[in-house]
Amino acid sequence: MAWLAKEIPKSEHKMEKVPTAAHLVTRAAEHNGPMIFAQMGMMQAVHRHHKRVFNPDRKDTHWGKRKLKRDQ
């Protein structure tokens, strides 16, 4: 929790993801809460300005392209 306070500027401590991450880490430490939620919350708080963008130029998947022997 102290690391999170040092990593994120004071002006951004009130953003939605930061207190949520702090709560999840505290709950995992004190009440044996799920660690994966604490980890996900921390990653979201640290990367709070990163926006995921859909890239349509990515390589297509192969799912659904194979045919069974009986269908050929």
31-41 pLDDT, tens digit each? 888 999 888 88
Domain span holding position 3? 1-49
13-27 CB burial, b ≥16 within 10 A, e <16:
eeeebbeebbebbee
Number of independent structural domains in the chain: 1
Cα–Cα distance for residue pair 59/72, rounded to 1 Å: 26
In a domain, 63, yes or no: no
In a domain, 18, yes or no: yes
In a domain, 33, yes or no: yes
In this predicted model, what pLDDT tens digit does every residue of 39-51 receive, in sequence order?
A: 888 888 888 888 8
The reply to whether the predicted model has a pTM over 0.85 is no
- Confidence class for position 22, pLDDT limits 50, 70, 90: confident
34 Cβ contact partners less than 8 Å away, ≥ 6 residues apart: 28
In a domain, 14, yes or no: yes
In a domain, 64, yes or no: no
In a domain, 65, yes or no: no
